[in-house]
Structure 1
Amino acid sequence: MPMALTGFVGRKAGSALGQVGELFVIVLEGLRRTWDVRNWFWEFVAQCWFLARITSVPVLLVSLPLGATVALQVGELAWQLGAASATGSAVFVGLIREVAPLASALLIAGAGGSAMTSDIGARNIRDELAAMEVMAVNPIHRLVTPRMWAASTVAVCLCPLVILAGATGGYFFNVVVQGVTPGAYFDGALSLVVGSDLYVTLFKAWVFGFIAAAVACYKGMTCQTSPVGVGRAVNQSTVVTFMLVFAFNYVISAVYFLAYPPKAF
Structure 2
Amino acid sequence: MRVDIATPLRLIGDFFALAADTARGLFVLPFQWREFVDQSWFIVRVSLVPTFLVALPLTALVSFTLNILTSEFGASDTSGAGATLGSVTQVGPIVTVLIVAGAGATAICADLGSRTIREEIDAMEVLGIDPVHRLIVPRVLASTTVALLLNALVCAIGIIGGFFFSVFLQNVTPGAFVAGIPLLTGLPELLISEIKAGAFGLIAALVACYRGLSVRGGPKSVGQAVNETVVYSFMALFVVNVVLTAIGVKATAG
TM-score normalized with structure 2 length: 0.96
1:54 has 2:46 as partner: yes
> Residue 25 of structure 2 contacts residue 132 of structure 2 at CA under 8 Å; is this kept in 1?
no
Q: Which one of the candidate residues 137, 149, 165 is aligned to 1:157? A: 149
The Cα of 1:22 is off from its aligned counterpart by 0.7
**Alignment-derived partner of residue 98 in structure 1:** 90
Q: Which of 116-125 and 85-94 deviates more?
A: 85-94
> Residue 151 of structure 2 contacts residue 194 of structure 2 at CA under 8 Å; is this kept in 1?
yes
The Cα of 1:14 is off from its aligned counterpart by 2.6
2-structure distance, mates of 1:167, 1:63: 11
Q: Where has structure 1 moved over 4 Å in runs of 4 or more?
A: none
Q: 5 Å matches for 1:4-23? A: 4=1, 7-8=2-3, 11=4, 13-23=5-15
**Alignment-derived partner of residue 196 in structure 1:** 188
Q: 5 Å matches for 1:1-265? A: 4=1, 7-8=2-3, 11=4, 13-261=5-253
Q: Which runs of 5+ in 1 are unaligned?
A: none
1:166 aligned partner, one-letter code: G
| Matched-pair identity in % | 38
SS at match of 2:171: coil
2-structure distance, mates of 1:179, 1:148: 44
Q: Which runs of 5+ in 2 are unaligned?
A: none
TM-score normalized with structure 1 length: 0.92
1:107 aligned partner, one-letter code: I
Q: CA RMSD in A?
A: 1.3
The Cα of 1:63 is off from its aligned counterpart by 1.2
Per-residue deviation, residues 33-56 of structure 1 (Å, max 9, x unmatched): 212353411101101111112212
1:48 aligned partner, one-letter code: S
1-structure distance, mates of 2:251, 2:197: 19
